[in-house]
A and B are shown apart, each in its own frame.
Chain A
Amino acid sequence: MASASNLTKLRYRFIPDHVIGEILSKKWIDNAIPFLVLLCVIAVFGTLIPNFFSASNLSITSRQLGEFALVGIAMMVVIVVGGIDLSVGSNFALGNFMTLALLNLAGWSVWAAVPAVILICGSVGLLNGVLVGYLRLRAFLTTLVTLIIVRAIVDMLLLKYAQAMSMSFYQSDLWDLMGLGGFFGIPFSFCVLVVVAIVGHVLLTRSRPGWRLMAIGGSRRSAHNIGLSVRGTVCAAYTISGMLCGLAGVLYAARLSGAGTDTGMGLEISALTAAVLGGNSLGGGRGSIVKALIGAVIVLIMTNGVLRLGLNSGSGPMVLGLTLIFAVFVDVRWLKNRDKLLNKVYVSPTYIELPEPVATSASSGTAFALNDRLKHVEIIGLAAVESPEDVILDEDDYLYCGTRHGDIVRFAPPDYTSHEVYAHIGGSPLGMSWDRDKNLVVCVGGMGLYKIDRNRNVTKVTDETNRSKLSIVDDSRLRLADDLDIAPDGRIFFSEATIRYEMHDWPVDALESRGNGRIICHDPKTGKTHTALRNLIFPNGVCTAHDGQSILFAESWACRINRYYISGPKAGTLERVLDRLPGYPDNINRASDGTYWAAIMGMRSPALDVALRMPGFRKRMARRIAPDQWLYPNLNIGCVIRFNDKGEVLESLWDQGAENHPMITSMREHKGYLYLGGITNNRIGRIRLEGRNEAWSGYSNYWGGRDGERAA
């Protein structure tokens, strides 16, 4: 039995299941299937065709790819914005013809002809853009019309000028370089493609116009309603598409120096196939340069490969058609089921064995013995606040708390009946602390660390930390900063409960009970933020010890309280202060007599304790039943405990009848009273403490005196 549980322990310690879910949640995983198809295609045709990997074949292929992928990108740009451009093939043919005509017949130089051609093809795109963007015609039909018209124009031009064109032949070094040469053995057209792809990728993923494009493709109505210029952006996308086709046409002209009626025939189908094979969704909002490139390579290799294999005329289309069906099928299924799969796989519980809890029954004689000391709590602001996770008081006895609406609400002394919104931050304000200058520093769930100065201006302190090198989820952003405290030297230490879940999914983190959280340190002097401790089990409740050399913090799901030295001889070491807690500890704050208050936000239950030793069971639970029926920690009832630096629990305060204030996530001692906050409450509690220092307040205890000058 023992060895079996050891085995489970080892298995969950060393096999990182959670990585699968994290990989699946990455955006680039979208490209996995197209990329696999690409590898298969290369493998199949690489083995079937002799000399497939020879330098000359690769050079020819990459030269063709330079042209084709540009058209593929052109198609992708309009697909991303929620349209389609069937005129790419005709436009390409127009670009090819115009280049040759301008060079051979009009006698222009390359430097003049190339920009002119790009502008001409861009104007075809502009026409599409005006029709689709501003007149809001259907993209499919409109570009179908331009496909036919531009094709007809090219045919008519060819009829008139083809003979004259075949008589003359343009020659210049630059033109030869474009058609036959390249840089460092890499064909010219491929170099152009690389430049376009890099610029395009940066624009699409890291610039405002690119984001607007994606936003409009994702939801045209929402984009319109938030004030984006939908029409102009759509028009621009078509224009860019047209210009890219022109560029591809120029490169084609440089390579072959010939114009025929079949130039670019059916190119729109190939480009569409490439775009969709790569994983760009028709209808918009999902697409990238990488996807377009992957698709273009697949289609090019297949069409060329079937030709090279010398099969009869029908086999090429047959293979292309089958691949298109297969790829789109897989892609559609993937897109549809990815979230389901992610939902099933992402929650990844691990093994955790909690030590036997301290007894709490009234007759047990421990410091945790149940009592009714919270029964007569005074209620402040009933129904005026929602989820005050933390409460804090200033030197003038004003009471502050956060609400789930993102406000900091302030109650006025002495009776705390009137209240006002002190400041609005947004997010879910959680833990709070005063700094030396009487600014209120607040941890905001979903946003980060914020500061409210005495003039009520809200400023961001930090919302990111250093990215750890090996983590798969991006842990540089703060998802759930939940409590902070400030060291005597001004450094702000705060906890982030979990890096794997967003604010409102925090109960799921309890189901995992993995060390997903961390302690982060922000130094206002340098403005830098770094992660001090990692892999903590829902860290919470940071509190600077009375001597200022260490911080205390709770690890909620592990039911223990730790100490981390931040200065002095033991700086950097971590030690256990308190474990075997009967519940889940939350915020910790100083008490007036040199001890500490800690809130127990919920009590452990034997069933969940057993489940925690059965990760397989919890995983099945997460996969098979609805989230509202999962086994969660109990957060309905808790207590307040007081403990000292040695880790001895001195007393506890309960509301046995659960009438007034059973749920507690935070408490502050202030001038003889204890103020209570609870994240699921609609009120704040206050209770008079017996035999306490009536002048003691948190701010003066931390910073000394009323003005922040530490008393000698």
Chain B
Amino acid sequence: MRSLGFMRHLNQEKIVLLLTALLFVVFSLTLNNFLAGDNILSLMRSVAVLGILGLGMLVVVLGRGIDLSLVAVMAISVAWSMQLIHEGLPVSVALTIGLLFALGIALCTGILVAYAEIPPLFATLAMATFVYGFGRAHLIVGTDVVYMPKTMGWVVSLGQGKLLGVPMPIVVAAGMALVVFLFLRFTKIGSFIYAIGDNLAASRISGIAVRPMLVLQYVLSGGIAFVAGIITATSVEAMNTRIVNSNMIYDVILVVVLGGVGLSGGRGNVRNVIVGTLLIGVLMNGMTIMDVQYTVQNVIKSLILLLAIVVDSIVNPRDEQTGQQGDI
């Protein structure tokens, strides 16, 4: 009975945290240089962007949505900004235009979801396809990759600088995590987002302006995607628009879900995203040191996600009586 009582306190977040700790210990004991300060920093740095995107996804998922257009918005808006700088616009103006583009697209997505009542899965999927297509056809013509202009100025330090020896991407990610945490925890709007995700009909009846709230969530995630894009672009000095066709958006979902954020909304916190990101970071770093093939890494990542959701479904069972209709 004791063990059952222990099981009852186990949730996905704790399982993943335990798993991360376990992996961390195993890697520290078996792999050379894993515990070295540089390696830990590069581990965190490698997943900083993923973590930031995870925050954007979190905000949307909490309101029972999903945003598959994150990566597309990130790639196209930042690539276009840099293209504009290449064409001679001042950095600040170009970045503002890029940000406004990202926010505008996110606003459209939000309106489609909230007012046109298109299921988020489709609205964002279609938006991702559209944004990528539109960007490639009209904004960034001729090349897949837009290189970072030399004239970016202080912005470059976001990707390449260091604060007290810590690479800036980690600092930015940590800062954003704090901001999102404070926003969700202490603002009225944050509580509303939880309420909407928990029970949309009840929130509407109790007087929350549900539709504007939903739009706001997508706009926030669009803004976060732009920041993630700036960091990606400045740390590798280029933005490859082909990233849209990669598995990256699945990785973002992985990070969010792994940490225990419920896709049916209303359940989850910044903490969950951090835990999920750390697990992926430790895993990828360890496997890279072990020189595991990329495809095998994918398999291992997926198996871990599978394990996490299987354990979750055993610990918190859903059945035909409790499952929500149309919840996929």
A418 to B318, CA, bound (A): 52
Binds B, one of A31-39, A315-323, A545-553: A315-323
Instruction: Judge whether A152 and B326 touch: CB under 8 Å.
Output: no
A140 to B250, CA, bound (A): 11
Instruction: Judge whether B133 and A325 touch: CB under 8 Å.
Output: no
Other-chain residue from B123, B138, B298, B299 in contact with A314 (beta carbon distance below 8 A): B138
> Is residue A580 within 8 Å, beta carbon to beta carbon, of the partner chain?
no
> Is residue A224 within 8 Å, beta carbon to beta carbon, of the partner chain?
yes
Instruction: Judge whether B247 and A148 touch: CB under 8 Å.
Output: yes
Binds A, one of B86-94, B157-165, B182-190, B302-310: B302-310
A324 to B116, CA, bound (A): 13
Instruction: Judge whether B133 and A316 touch: CB under 8 Å.
Output: yes
Q: Within residues 78 to 96 of chain A, which ones have a CB less than 8 A from any CB in chain B? A: 82-84
Interface of A is mostly: helix
Binds A, one of B41-49, B52-60, B124-132, B226-234: B124-132
Other-chain residue from A137, A318, A319 in contact with B309 (beta carbon distance below 8 A): A137
Measured between beta carbons, the chain A residues less than 8 angstroms from B121 are 140, 282
> Is residue B3 within 8 Å, beta carbon to beta carbon, of the partner chain?
no
| Given the contacts A144-B250, A318-B137, A329 and B320 also touching, CB distance less than 8 Å | no
- Residues of B in contact with A, size category: 35 or more
A136 to B312, CA, bound (A): 11
Instruction: Judge whether B325 and A221 touch: CB under 8 Å.
Output: yes
Residue in chain A with minimal CB distance to B320: A224
A318 to B328, CA, bound (A): 27
Most central of A145, A155, A223, A272 by chain B CB within 10 Å: A145
Residue in chain A with minimal CB distance to B241: A314
Measured between beta carbons, the chain B residues less than 8 angstroms from A470 are none
Instruction: Judge whether A282 and B326 touch: CB under 8 Å.
Output: yes
> Is residue B291 within 8 Å, beta carbon to beta carbon, of the partner chain?
no
> Is residue B321 within 8 Å, beta carbon to beta carbon, of the partner chain?
yes
> Is residue B98 within 8 Å, beta carbon to beta carbon, of the partner chain?
no
Q: Within residues 208 to 229 of chain A, which ones have a CB less than 8 A from any CB in chain B? A: 219-221, 223-225
Binary per-residue interface labels of chain B (82-126) against chain A in the complex, 1 for a CB within 8 Å, 0 otherwise: 000000000000000000000000000000100011110111011
Measured between beta carbons, the chain A residues less than 8 angstroms from B137 are 311-315, 318
Instruction: Judge whether A317 and B130 touch: CB under 8 Å.
Output: yes
Instruction: Judge whether B317 and A136 touch: CB under 8 Å.
Output: yes
A135 to B130, CA, bound (A): 36
A319 shortest CB reach to chain B, Å = 7
| Given the contacts A141-B263, A283-B325, A152 and B298 also touching, CB distance less than 8 Å | yes
Residue in chain A with minimal CB distance to B108: A325
> Is residue A519 within 8 Å, beta carbon to beta carbon, of the partner chain?
no
Instruction: Judge whether A321 and B299 touch: CB under 8 Å.
Output: no
Instruction: Judge whether B263 and A312 touch: CB under 8 Å.
Output: no
Residue in chain A with minimal CB distance to B109: A325
Instruction: Judge whether B112 and A325 touch: CB under 8 Å.
Output: yes
Measured between beta carbons, the chain B residues less than 8 angstroms from A148 are 247, 250, 298-299, 301-302
Other-chain residue from A84, A312, A325 in contact with B126 (beta carbon distance below 8 A): A325
B121 shortest CB reach to chain A, Å = 7
Instruction: Judge whether A329 and B112 touch: CB under 8 Å.
Output: yes
Binary per-residue interface labels of chain B (6-25) against chain A in the complex, 1 for a CB within 8 Å, 0 otherwise: 00000000000000000000
> Is residue A589 within 8 Å, beta carbon to beta carbon, of the partner chain?
no
| Given the contacts A282-B328, A329-B112, A321 and B128 also touching, CB distance less than 8 Å | yes
A202 to B247, CA, bound (A): 38
Residue in chain B with minimal CB distance to A313: B136
Instruction: Judge whether B129 and A336 touch: CB under 8 Å.
Output: no
Most central of A141, A146, A219 by chain B CB within 10 Å: A141
Measured between beta carbons, the chain B residues less than 8 angstroms from A136 are 313, 317-319, 323
Instruction: Judge whether A312 and B323 touch: CB under 8 Å.
Output: no
> Is residue B296 within 8 Å, beta carbon to beta carbon, of the partner chain?
yes
| B contact set with A: CB distance below 8 Å | 112, 116-119, 121-123, 125-138, 141, 245, 247, 250, 253, 257, 263, 293, 295-296, 298-299, 301-303, 305-306, 309-310, 313, 317-321, 323, 325-328
Pick 10 A–B contacts, CB within 8 A, sort by A.
Answer: A136-B319, A149-B298, A152-B299, A156-B293, A230-B320, A272-B125, A315-B133, A325-B122, A328-B119, A336-B117
